[in-house]
């Protein structure tokens, strides 16, 4: 299994080009199940989760060519309505095939997801919403089985603004003739991007990115071309790595409007953020001031940047607090950071970080994508050598991470 060897303590400097958003590319790719026409999607990052999605589409009958960031998805053979366990267990987002397939064929069968080890992550919000549009839901041999004569348009109010449920229902509604309204919808930028793609495929989507999304669906969605938005989580991770190392980095293609809560916290920590025509520039000369954060659905502080933020705060001049309110069990990186000299107390969803002047290299282990990213941030800032095991978690979400970091002056190599 691959691991990273990082010799830390070097400020990151220079420019890095932000990749396409993994979390936007996944539902966009999955939407192609709703048409037999060819769809072309650009700015798709080269990542393990994307390869899993391509395999999922192929298993279901699509023909996919994917090279140099462009995926062309075409009709292959008769589509299957089942997402098999061996793929769903690798990537929870596979559950997103349910919406498109149910709308198109009146049935869908998806293994109950595994995915990350963060919290329970059930799919009850998705299922309740499908029921509201007329689907029957049952479970059989570890699969969720959905079926209906015909999915009906309607109004759904989510009990929580789940990103996946909003996407799943937007796709389903796009394939159903009539108007569906989603209330208390997630407002993440990736939802807006999906709205743009579905509109290009022939549906009419209004309000994507607000808490009420209205979808005028059609049974005749067609092929479309689209370019995925920049990855705000990758942006935030490089940004925090730059600041933790007291560096100066330009993030090319980054969008400040997708990261308002993070940028607000960064400014309060004393670092400099400048918007440029081509992206963002961040700079830090000193240890950060302590800043408390708590994660919330967008536009709140993103849960996917909580771990890298904690890594940054381990070096603050004082005590800061972190509260994780989106996922259970998402402070596992605290113990690993502790192995590097960080002083963090955790209890349930909360952590108190007592800043230290320096971290030290140590052997550590990634437990999920974003916890892994936090360890990379800490290792880049730490004195001495860090070895990070279980890099496969990080590979799910960060394109060419070591190459991009090396271009910024980091000493990082992959070994196995």
The residues that touch ligand UD1, with contacts defined as CB under 6 A, are 23, 26, 92-93, 119-126, 160, 162-165, 186, 190, 303-304, 326-327
Nearer to ligand UD1, 3 or 197 (CB): 197
Main-chain phi, psi angles of 399, to 5 degrees: -80, 130
Six-digit token pair at 367? 């437990």
Given a contact cutoff of 8 angstroms between Cβ atoms, the answer to whether 392 and 48 are in contact is yes
- The answer to whether the CB of 227 falls within 8 A of the CB of 70 is no
Q: Tell me how far, at minimum, the Cβ of 415 lies from ligand UD1, in Å.
A: 28
To the nearest 5 percent, what fractions of the chain are helix, strand and coil?
35, 30, 40
Q: How far apart are CA 287 and CA 283, in angstroms?
A: 11
Query: CB within 8 A of 365, min separation 6: which ones?
Result: 336, 388, 389, 390
Q: Between residues 190 and 216, which has the closer beta carbon with respect to ligand UD1?
A: 190
In the bound state with ligand UD1, the residue whose beta carbon lies nearer, of 28 and 303, is: 303
- Decide: 222 and 35 in contact? Cβ < 8 Å: yes
Residue with smaller CB distance to ligand UD1, 23 or 81: 23
Sheet holding 70-75, edge to edge: 62-67, 70-75, 39-42, 225-227
Of the residues 116, 156, 174, 307, only one is catalytic, namely: 116
165 contacts: CB under 8 Å, gap ≥ 6: 123, 125, 126, 129, 158, 186
Identify whether 148 is a catalytic site residue.
no
Specify the residue, 119 or 178, whose C-beta has the smaller distance to ligand UD1.
119
In whole angstroms, what is the distance from residue 362 CA to residue 377 CA? Answer: 13
Residue with nearest beta carbon to ligand UD1: 164
What dihedral angle (degrees, nearest 10) is formed by the CA atoms of 393, 262, 45, 214? 110
Nearest approach, Cβ of residue 368 and ligand UD1 (Å): 10
Of 246, 262, 375, 383, nearest in space to 317 by CA: 246
Shortest spacing between CB 396 and ligand UD1, in angstroms: 10
SS3 (DSSP) at 125:
helix
Of 43 and 126, which CB lies nearer to ligand UD1 in the complex structure? 126
Which residues are catalytically annotated?
116
């Amino acid at each position: 299994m691959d691991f990273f060897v990082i010799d830390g303590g070097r400020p990151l400097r220079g420019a890095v080009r932000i990749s396409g958003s993994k979390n936007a590319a996944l539902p966009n790719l999955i939407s192609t199940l709703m048409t037999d026409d060819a769809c072309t999607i650009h700015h798709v990052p080269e990542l393990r989760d994307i390869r899993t999605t391509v395999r999922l589409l192929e298993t279901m009958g699509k023909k996919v060519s994917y090279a140099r960031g462009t995926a062309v998805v075409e009709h292959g053979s008769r589509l299957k309505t089942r997402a098999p366990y061996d793929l769903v267990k690798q990537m929870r987002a596979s559950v997103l095939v349910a919406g498109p397939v149910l709308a198109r064929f009146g049935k869908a069968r998806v293994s109950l997801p595994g995915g990350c080890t963060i919290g329970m992550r059930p799919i009850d919000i998705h299922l309740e919403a499908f029921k509201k549009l007329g689907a029957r839901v049952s479970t059989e041999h570890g699969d969720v089985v959905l079926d209906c004569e015909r999915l009906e348009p309607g109004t759904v109010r989510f009990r929580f603004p789940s990103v996946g449920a909003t996407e799943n229902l937007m796709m389903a509604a796009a394939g159903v003739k009539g108007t569906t309204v989603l209330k208390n919808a997630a407002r993440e930028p990736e939802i807006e991007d999906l709205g743009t793609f579905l509109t290009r495929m022939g549906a009419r989507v209004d309000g994507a990115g607000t808490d009420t999304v209205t979808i005028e669906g059609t049974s005749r969605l067609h092929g479309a071309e689209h370019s995925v938005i920049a990855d705000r989580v990758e942006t935030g991770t490089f940004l925090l790595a730059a600041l933790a190392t007291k560096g100066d980095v330009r993030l090319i293609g980054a969008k400040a409007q997708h990261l308002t809560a993070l940028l607000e916290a960064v400014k309060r920590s004393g670092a400099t953020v400048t918007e440029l025509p081509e992206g963002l520039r961040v700079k830090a000369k000193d240890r950060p001031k302590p800043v408390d954060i708590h994660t919330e659905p967008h536009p709140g502080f993103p849960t996917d940047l909580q771990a890298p933020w904690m890594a940054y705060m381990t070096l603050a001049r004082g005590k800061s607090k972190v509260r994780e309110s989106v996922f259970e069990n998402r402070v596992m990186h605290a113990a690993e950071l502790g192995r590097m000299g960080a002083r963090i107390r955790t209890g349930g969803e909360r952590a108190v970080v007592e800043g230290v002047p320096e971290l030290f290299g140590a052997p550590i282990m990634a437990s999920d994508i974003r916890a892994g990213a936090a360890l990379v941030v800490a290792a880049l800032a730490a004195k001495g050598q860090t070895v990070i095991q279980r890099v496969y978690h990080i590979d799910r979400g960060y394109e060419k991470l070591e190459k991009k970091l090396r271009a910024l002056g980091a000493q990082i190599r992959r070994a196995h």
